[in-house]
Structure 1
């Protein structure tokens, strides 16, 4: 207990504050003792100064404890490039949030060991497990197993884990381990396979060190479906053992998958995650159905409630702007927090729900709580940064997106939005640097996934911003061919044409996006790509049209009659 307490004092920099205060206080007393008598002041003035210094010491220590929580660079980039440093120097790191400001149940983590420096952290990627079941429908299960192991590993400060969006790029690709590790900037890779037949499951996993292409650990599990949780826990623990990562009791508990004990509920949850990642209206609706079925089996399944909240929030923002969707998103995410206040995913879900409702001030607390619980979770910084960007808080958005980029340097989304944040705040040179970095990552992504419409339309905007007009149009049209009536694709390709100066084509696409269900007037108003359209009458009419949609409620949504 004593060791843990002193470690906590050290982590919070209380000892450093105390030493610094003592030195400064001694200097103040010495100066007062020398100068004050010469000023013919009463004798008690020196005593008074000494008393003030002594009384100020406990106050300084308390302030140090309260306002300097933990390491300042938890998610630092492993190998910052000169370009990274140039961009990062323009914006200070985000301040640690004040837990007392959160209006939702909080579980502020009390780390038992200090997070290691960035250069001491092990870097690892979890590749999607190969489906060996002979049934393509089981892809959701093999992908879900890998994603759950990835999520367990992100809870450890000693590890830096490539995000799902980065590592799953290699799904179905023939690529050597060394090439994968180089692309994802990691030293270790976990790969595996899953074979499922009824209630029986066979999972094989192996951990490989990229430099020597050597196997550090491998295991095959032949179990019943009900044992899948124990298998995931064992794989995560075996990885930490192989990497010689020392775990505190708290961290060992974090590696236990205790979200549910029911294999059927877990199966529906994995199906829901698969549909949610599709980012389409039918995907959101199917995800809602799957999460509800998981909850029907296990009514205390917090992560299923969080997934349900995410599904409703994304459905509202991208496909169906019915107020009832907002209401369901908030209800589900708050239930997730009630059931498991230590789950960062639950707080992230509430932040997304409140952001979708246009309540960014309320959304800040759950976002920041999620950051405290799991500072390695890339999606927190990405979604919180996007929320601030939509709200016109460009400096804060830039700070958060920089943290997202540091947490997962191989994902192209953070630098893409970072360029928008800089451009909107008038930092054109930094915006160009961010655009260049984003485009480099997108081009590498498209090389592996030439039909990925999202990377194509985001890349087309980067190309347009950098003056590469012909390639920008080529990518934009390829994205449209891949997802002709998808509102997000229509909107983003419209942004590309706006940057290129083709206002009529841009407005045609934006109006078509609205026809197909796009509803995010707040984002539309602050999107720097659309600056050329601001004074166009068609653009103004589009904003007015969006104003006729059901608006987010100012309080708890859902009390008015919902629209379909």
Structure 2
């Protein structure tokens, strides 16, 4: 049977080792189930090459025939990746996997395909039937020249690592996956790849491996826009806040439109004062349209210009000028947003129109105070936060009680806490003003975000995630909320949910330096330490001065059997060991690597212990380090503290983390894991996401 695309022999080639099909004939059953699912997915018949008697054994006993090379001319290559497949002596790995990668890299499509949603997929679509060790992953990834992503058909229980079958109960499976659902996922992935190949051949797959980013860049969505910071051309340079506020509000308006991809404020603001061309800016953030403009504010008078540009040909789609007074700013803002919608021919629902017209602070002078306060509040400087709080109070005096202003005040008090200023007093004030906001609007996203931060700081991850997810429900396109919720999901072990949020963040906030870091940490807390390496190293390279990124670079090197390199890196890079809690942890790790208990003990001041015991993630790290040193009592003490504060990622603690291996046989650990499993299973957020 011919392929759907002329010039190819088969649509799908399935590669496997014969020993993986012995006994229960798992591979044969997989092929039959796959064909049934493909029949449900495609209108046409899909051709699948599957050799019931594949070559196997030592390489020197086999030659690759011309016939096999012809069969490898396929659209999608599916290796059944097992512990035996990743073997230099495997015929399947050497003469099928490697041969396909070489052939596909040279054909008209290349190895990577652009999908309809703008994402990029590899034509190698692995099916995992065992968890692999790092050496096996590195072997396969060295062939592919990049990260090996695929679909897992793995059944996991404590001490169990085998292929998933249709009879397995997903509630007992630590991976939480069901055979038929995974089969549907792989059929859909095949459909996406083949559909992409049939409609638009591209050259993405011909990029060299070293040219690929750690977090893959997506292709441009047709209806996508960046709102550049409006230029302040006012006589008074202090009116910059007003230009920023207008930029924020237009971004906020447009973000309510599901059919339009809008780049976030944080990424857009990086282009303030930039000399880059429109085309360069659009390419950097993967959008087609660019809005730019200027604001002139003199006393109460306003003059605003705006123009929408198509970056493909640098043509002006729409431009206009608006004059008025400060009282007219809401009307002008709405007109700008509506003009963009009309220019891009987007149809709005009644709810979307309501969102654009919505004004949480309806008094323009109170709104002006709110916008002027923001830059001071985010400064981490006491006098600037004081200034911001005074402006917010002035806004309240003008407008009366207002939920958004109260939430802004809660955030200001939390910023005092972040800056280390009178923390106990200010955390209570932050809670007080968040509650005032809730009294007026129980679902206000800004207030839930602040409460999530407060609970996280206090070491209550459960309540922190409750508030964070409610904040995200209220503002589902807010990347600041999104990225922190993603980290919470990662820490809890809801890795697929975290991955989905991180992917959305990369689209709407592509220049956020946290993207690589949190993608790496998601792999880490999912036990995929080899996959965590590249994004965590990329995060460090982006902001090498960050204590957080220094710690995670050192840690992931150790987890990838590169402890000597990690030690040298810490010695060269960490100059101020007492700078922050991340740096303290990095120094702790340095002494753990060398088993230097004298210097290790010198770090354990009362302040160190108090600070790190209130942080569940730090407590877990220290527990893992003590286990590595085989100091079981100390390890269990810190681990129990981590669990008490909400670190309940059961699969990670019970099985994935190799550092905890020294304590897993302890009765105290086993009792603790029964509790963790129970809490992990009943936690409401995880119930909604994992099952």
TM-score normalised per structure 2: 0.52
Distance in structure 1 (CA, Å) of the matches to 2:603 and 2:385: 23
Partner-residue secondary structure (3-state), 2:485: helix
Structure 2 residue 480 is matched with structure 1 residue 371: no
Against the structure 1 CA distance between its residues 220 and 384, is the aligned structure 2 distance closer, same or farther, given a 3 Å change threshold? same
Against the structure 1 CA distance between its residues 518 and 293, is the aligned structure 2 distance closer, same or farther, given a 3 Å change threshold? farther
Partner-residue secondary structure (3-state), 1:325: helix
Against the structure 1 CA distance between its residues 475 and 299, is the aligned structure 2 distance closer, same or farther, given a 3 Å change threshold? farther
Against the structure 1 CA distance between its residues 327 and 459, is the aligned structure 2 distance closer, same or farther, given a 3 Å change threshold? closer
Instruction: Identify the residue that residue 396 of structure 1 maps to in structure 2.
Output: 494
Correspondent of 2:119 among 70, 74, 79:
79
Question: Contact 1:371–1:380 at 8 Å: present in 2 too?
Answer: yes
Partner-residue secondary structure (3-state), 2:224: strand
State the Cα distance separating 1:259 from its structure 2 match. 1.6
CA-to-aligned-CA distance 1:33-87 (integer Å, 9 cap, x gap): xxxxxxxxxxxxxxxxxxxxxxxxxxxxxxxxxxxxxxxxxxx974246579939
Distance in structure 1 (CA, Å) of the matches to 2:605 and 2:433: 32
Partner-residue secondary structure (3-state), 2:580: helix
Q: Pairwise CA RMSD of aligned residues?
A: 4.4
Distance in structure 1 (CA, Å) of the matches to 2:606 and 2:319: 51
Question: Contact 1:195–1:201 at 8 Å: present in 2 too?
Answer: yes
| Equivalent residue runs for 1:117-196 within 5 Å | 122-196=223-297
Distance in structure 2 (CA, Å) of the matches to 1:518 and 1:142: 40
Instruction: Identify the residue that residue 382 of structure 1 maps to in structure 2.
Output: 483
Partner-residue secondary structure (3-state), 2:494: helix
More displaced 10-residue stretch of structure 1: 365-374 or 123-132: 365-374
Aligned residues: 421
Distance in structure 1 (CA, Å) of the matches to 2:225 and 2:462: 35
Structure 2 residue 293 is matched with structure 1 residue 200: no
State the Cα distance separating 1:514 from its structure 2 match. 7.4
Correspondent of 1:408 among 506, 518, 528:
506
Against the structure 1 CA distance between its residues 360 and 469, is the aligned structure 2 distance closer, same or farther, given a 3 Å change threshold? closer
| Equivalent residue runs for 1:298-447 within 5 Å | 298-320=399-421, 322-341=423-442, 343-387=444-488, 392-393=491-492, 395-396=493-494, 399-400=497-498, 402-409=500-507, 410=510, 411-436=512-537, 438=539, 442=542
Against the structure 1 CA distance between its residues 379 and 206, is the aligned structure 2 distance closer, same or farther, given a 3 Å change threshold? same
CA-to-aligned-CA distance 1:255-287 (integer Å, 9 cap, x gap): 124122222211221122212333455554443
Partner-residue secondary structure (3-state), 1:408: helix
Correspondent of 1:220 among 274, 296, 321:
321
Instruction: Identify the residue that residue 248 of structure 1 maps to in structure 2.
Output: 349
CA-to-aligned-CA distance 1:186-230 (integer Å, 9 cap, x gap): 122222222211111222222222111122222222211111111
Against the structure 1 CA distance between its residues 155 and 191, is the aligned structure 2 distance closer, same or farther, given a 3 Å change threshold? same
Distance in structure 2 (CA, Å) of the matches to 1:469 and 1:292: 50
Against the structure 1 CA distance between its residues 510 and 176, is the aligned structure 2 distance closer, same or farther, given a 3 Å change threshold? farther
Distance in structure 1 (CA, Å) of the matches to 2:294 and 2:573: 34
Higher relative contact order (CA 8 A, sep 6+): 1
More helix by share: 1
Correspondent of 2:580 among 470, 486, 490:
490
Distance in structure 1 (CA, Å) of the matches to 2:622 and 2:308: 43
Distance in structure 2 (CA, Å) of the matches to 1:530 and 1:321: 30
Distance in structure 2 (CA, Å) of the matches to 1:281 and 1:519: 25
Correspondent of 1:269 among 357, 367, 370:
370
State the Cα distance separating 1:499 from its structure 2 match. 6.0
Distance in structure 1 (CA, Å) of the matches to 2:355 and 2:365: 23
State the Cα distance separating 1:341 from its structure 2 match. 5.0
Flag structure 2 segments of 5+ consecutive residues without an equivalent: 1-115, 123-145, 154-174, 178-218, 558-564, 646-691
Partner-residue secondary structure (3-state), 2:287: coil
State the Cα distance separating 1:249 from its structure 2 match. 0.7
Against the structure 1 CA distance between its residues 532 and 134, is the aligned structure 2 distance closer, same or farther, given a 3 Å change threshold? farther
TM-score normalised per structure 1: 0.62
State the Cα distance separating 1:235 from its structure 2 match. 1.3
State the Cα distance separating 1:422 from its structure 2 match. 3.2
State the Cα distance separating 1:416 from its structure 2 match. 0.6
Against the structure 1 CA distance between its residues 161 and 528, is the aligned structure 2 distance closer, same or farther, given a 3 Å change threshold? farther
State the Cα distance separating 1:437 from its structure 2 match. 5.1
State the Cα distance separating 1:170 from its structure 2 match. 1.6
Structure with bigger gyration radius: 2
Partner-residue secondary structure (3-state), 1:252: helix
| Equivalent residue runs for 1:86-105 within 5 Å | 86=149
Question: Contact 1:264–1:294 at 8 Å: present in 2 too?
Answer: yes
Instruction: Identify the residue that residue 99 of structure 1 maps to in structure 2.
Output: none
Against the structure 1 CA distance between its residues 358 and 249, is the aligned structure 2 distance closer, same or farther, given a 3 Å change threshold? same
Distance in structure 2 (CA, Å) of the matches to 1:371 and 1:433: 28
Partner-residue secondary structure (3-state), 2:238: helix
Partner-residue secondary structure (3-state), 2:308: strand
Distance in structure 2 (CA, Å) of the matches to 1:491 and 1:294: 36
Question: Contact 2:220–2:286 at 8 Å: present in 1 too?
Answer: no
Distance in structure 2 (CA, Å) of the matches to 1:160 and 1:85: 28
Question: Contact 2:465–2:488 at 8 Å: present in 1 too?
Answer: no
Against the structure 1 CA distance between its residues 468 and 339, is the aligned structure 2 distance closer, same or farther, given a 3 Å change threshold? same
Distance in structure 1 (CA, Å) of the matches to 2:518 and 2:291: 30
